[in-house]
Amino acid sequence: MVNLPLLSAQPEAAELHELWVMKEYGVVDSWTKVLILPRDDEYLSVSRVLGFRKNGEVLLEVDNEKMASLDLNCQQMKLHEVEVGGDL
């Protein structure tokens, strides 16, 4: 099964990032909000969702250039020493 991720596109003034996942591809009613991240100093600025790891973590582009993984169970983010650039 393939999950389709979506990071909500909120105005810059918004205080939250929302991560939605389509659990069943092509089924509109299967969209599920899986995470809400506050925009504050504790979290890096999330630019886009890159995908999912086999262990269920979400790969994110943060600060418009770095890769991070986010464990949805404990909501902890880990920054990786990998730069992400350009369009995928």
Q: Token match 């020493």: residue? A: 81
Cα separation, 6 vs 66, whole angstroms: 18
Please give the order of strands across the beta sheet that includes 58-62. 46-52, 58-62, 66-71, 76-83
- Give yes or no for residue 29 having a pLDDT over 80: yes
- Structural domain of residue 20, as residue ranges? 4-83
52 found inside a domain = yes
Tell me what pLDDT residue 7 has.
Answer: 54
30 found inside a domain = yes
Tell me what pLDDT residue 45 has.
Answer: 74
24 found inside a domain = yes
Q: Where does the pLDDT of residue 1 fall: very low under 50, low under 70, confident under 90, or very high at 90 and above? A: very low
26 found inside a domain = yes
Please give the residue that has the higher pLDDT: either 45 or 87.
Answer: 45
Tell me the pLDDT tens digit for each residue of 55-81.
888 888 887 788 989 888 887 888 888
Domains in the chain: how many in total? 1
- Give yes or no for residue 11 having a pLDDT over 60: no
Please give the span between the terminal C-alpha atoms of the chain, in angstroms, as a whole number: 22
48 found inside a domain = yes
64 found inside a domain = yes
59 found inside a domain = yes
